[in-house]
């Protein structure tokens, strides 16, 4: 293990919580500032990518991540269906911020799962 790998392996566990907090911050504040589900999901996926780069052991179970992504897609579909049917009522009687924040969270988690799957698939097939 060279000096850079040791530095990455020792500093990444310290930086991981900050990256996660920043990713969720971007997701939750996407309706107010630039960012949202996609950008925050990419930040969250960077945690898994950095974990692999710090210690290249292929311990992530991709099937679990794929199942989580499928469930999130189902929840996103249900949420969007409800959003479309209730949007007229909510526009007339209230705001849509709750739905927008919930949609950003679901999109962010789905993007994080998708980017993680893509990265690990490239790693697995490249090593063959």
pLDDT of residue 21 exceeding 90: yes
**Which of 45 and 76 is assigned the larger pLDDT?**
45
> What's the pTM?
0.74
- Look at residue 73 in the predicted model and tell me its pLDDT: 78
The contacts of residue 97 (CB under 8 Å, 6+ apart) are 31
E strand or H helix that includes residue 21? helix 3-28
Which residue range is the domain that position 53 belongs to? 3-126
Using N-to-C axis directions, what is the helix angle for 3-28 and 97-126, rounded to 10°? 150
pLDDT of residue 42 exceeding 90: yes
Please say whether the beta carbons of 85 and 9 come within 8 A.
no
- Look at residue 75 in the predicted model and tell me its pLDDT: 76
Q: How many domains is the chain partitioned into structurally?
A: 1
Helix (H) and strand (E) counts for the chain? 4, 0
Please say whether the beta carbons of 27 and 104 come within 8 A.
yes
- Look at residue 1 in the predicted model and tell me its pLDDT: 55
- Look at residue 25 in the predicted model and tell me its pLDDT: 92
d(CA 24, CA 32): 14
């Amino acid at each position: 293990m060279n000096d850079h790998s040791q530095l990455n392996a020792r500093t990444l566990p310290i930086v991981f919580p900050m990256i996660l907090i920043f990713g969720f911050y971007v997701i939750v504040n996407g309706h107010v500032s630039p960012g949202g589900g996609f950008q925050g999901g990419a930040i969250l996926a960077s945690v898994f990518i950095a974990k692999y780069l710090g210690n290249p052991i292929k311990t992530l179970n991709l099937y679990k991540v794929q199942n989580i992504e499928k469930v999130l897609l189902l929840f996103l579909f249900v949420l969007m269906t409800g959003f479309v049917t209730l949007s007229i009522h909510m526009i007339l009687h209230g705001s849509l911020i709750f739905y927008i924040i919930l949609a950003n969270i679901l999109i962010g988690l789905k993007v994080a799962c998708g980017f993680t799957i893509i990265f690990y698939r490239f790693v697995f097939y490249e090593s063959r």
